[in-house]
Structure 1
């Protein structure tokens, strides 16, 4: 899985608003299951806390075991099957997302089931989700959203290094080329026309194409990458503010103004503050080493 692949997913999920409709922990056995296909008008998270069984979805039979995490999109027909001697403890939630594009999921080839390495942590996130849903506090909705983002992060952290579904789609290859071009030319004057030429698209269509996958317009994304790169460069002692501005292709006065709008700090203040944190961290590490 390439870094740009991850970039596309991160930008997608950053823009996604989530509403949880229901969540619970359920113990299933063969007699409690109805032998029918289920189709929901919401998305489902299914996490196997204990036990074994089978998930039948998209004409595939997926073995369910402890630590298996499944994401089923709305409208995806599926059913769970258990042998007479099997029992399954599932933690689940039903949710809707305001920023959802099924074609995007197909483009990214995100698998709908993975094995979680840190089972206890993911199970604990579900437990906190159940607790917050039972509350009626002012902050409950914010906490629920935070927990859902934790669960999504668990899923993404455990994705396989490479997908097994073959080569990337044509759209993904195009976006990958554009993202690499941007990173290689941050010091240059990047225009929509430049980017569209890389994938042989009309500029107007390219803007729609790019935003549909990344969630940002091309120029918004370029500026964000410049600010992210600038933050890293400002941590390097040999790079002064003027040099950093040049490396990200901006005049220093415009760079300073955009950087402050992005971080709330001037480049010089950010550099000084970061250096203070680094120094404090080094002193703390030295102190721990001496104690040992």
Structure 2
């Protein structure tokens, strides 16, 4: 998955506010008309995980085979039918997620596959958590449900095939081509004072319309995105002892006092403290684990 696709998904997921409307397990038998799971799911995104049997998922765009371990993401308003194999039984667990903003168009532009195989039984256990906790009252139950949704989405994202294997690279949409140009330019010019007018000119849009376009694709304003990217790059650079704090600030185009203030606001740690913790843990954990531990330390600092 290219950087721009990854960034689009991450920004939408980080800003997404959602509720789980329903979750259950369904068993379909035979091919009788009343045994076909037909629904448009309304304004909800439906996540479906097959636990037993085989069948197929039909939409207006075609059909996908279903087998144990398969997870399907069916976007809001998508008319579909779920059918078991002739004479067989298809068992699947599912949940309906209602987001606070409409992500369907963005996800369609990303060309996400309808079905991926998770090679894991964890998805079933996560949906069981939703089924068990949804009827319960209290904040703990709600947090467990939301945590299970995020874990399920992470499993789905981890199993996404590369864009090239999905055929997306061959014919990106006009919107995706524009946003890829903008995001690449931002990454190449983090040291510079990137302006809205400058970014808008890249894709031949009026600055006011560009802001609307960018937010619809990334879920945040261009300025927010630039600052977030600067902090992401800074965290990676600070893990390398050869980069001083002032060097990191220069590499992302920020004055050191402003960089330090923004970095602490976002992480709960000063850049120096972050570097010190990274040095202490060097050799003990991998880079990704170090990031997780540093994030936890920031919350407790």
Normalised to the residue count of structure 1, the TM-score between the two structures is 0.90
- The Cα of 1:137 is off from its aligned counterpart by 3.6
Per the alignment, residue 238 of structure 2 pairs with 234
**Cα separation, 1, equivalents of 2:261 and 2:85:** 64
Normalised to the residue count of structure 2, the TM-score between the two structures is 0.87
Alignment deviations for residues 18-76 of structure 1 (CA, whole Å, 9 cap, x no partner)? 21121112222026751584223132211111101122211523221111211222321
1:82 to 64, 75, 84: 84
More moved, 74-83 vs 86-95: 74-83
Confirm or deny that 1:20 pairs with 2:23: no
2:113 to 111, 114, 133: 111
**Cα separation, 1, equivalents of 2:86 and 2:185:** 56
Are the counterparts in 2 of residues 71 and 112 from structure 1 also a CA contact under 8 Å? yes
- The Cα of 1:148 is off from its aligned counterpart by 0.5
**Cα separation, 2, equivalents of 1:255 and 1:84:** 62
Q: Give aligned pairs, total.
A: 281
Per the alignment, residue 204 of structure 1 pairs with 208
Output the aligned Cα RMSD: 1.9
Point out the structure with max Rg over C-alpha: 1
Q: Which runs of 5+ in 2 are unaligned?
A: 287-301
- The Cα of 1:10 is off from its aligned counterpart by 1.3
Which segments of structure 1 move beyond 6 Å, counting only runs of 4 or more? none
Alignment deviations for residues 182-217 of structure 1 (CA, whole Å, 9 cap, x no partner)? 111111111112211221211111111111111111
Confirm or deny that 1:178 pairs with 2:177: no
Per the alignment, residue 46 of structure 1 pairs with 48
**Cα separation, 2, equivalents of 1:206 and 1:59:** 31
Q: Give the 3 Å change call, closer, same or farther, for CA 238–83 of structure 1 in structure 2.
A: closer
Q: Give the 3 Å change call, closer, same or farther, for CA 33–142 of structure 1 in structure 2.
A: farther
Are the counterparts in 2 of residues 15 and 99 from structure 1 also a CA contact under 8 Å? no
Are the counterparts in 1 of residues 54 and 85 from structure 2 also a CA contact under 8 Å? no
1:261 to 261, 265, 275: 265
